[in-house]
């Protein structure tokens, strides 16, 4: 690594139970409020970036 390269900071690990639940809910077609909000926020960001 050179002197000017940024240090990589990893996010904390996600519990396996949370990941398992995410996949189970997705397989059942259930979208929780947090994922729905994140999806809407993501769409807004993409639209804003595309309009510039």
32 sits in the region (left: phi over 0; alpha: psi -120 to 50; else beta) called beta
Cα–Cα dist 25/18, whole Å: 11
Position 40 scores a pLDDT of 66
Is residue 37 very low, low, confident or very high in pLDDT (cuts 50, 70, 90)? low
Position 38 scores a pLDDT of 63
Contact (CB, 8 A) for 25 and 32: yes
Chain centre to alpha carbon of residue 20: 15
**17 pLDDT higher than 80:** yes
> How much is the pTM?
0.43
Query: Stretch 25-41: mean pLDDT, rounded?
Result: 70
Query: Stretch 15-26: mean pLDDT, rounded?
Result: 86
């Amino acid at each position: 690594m050179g002197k000017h390269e940024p240090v990589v900071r990893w996010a904390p690990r996600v519990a396996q139970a949370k990941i398992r639940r995410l996949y189970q809910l997705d397989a059942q077609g259930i979208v929780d409020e947090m994922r729905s909000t994140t999806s809407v926020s993501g769409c807004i960001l993409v639209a804003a970036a595309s309009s510039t």
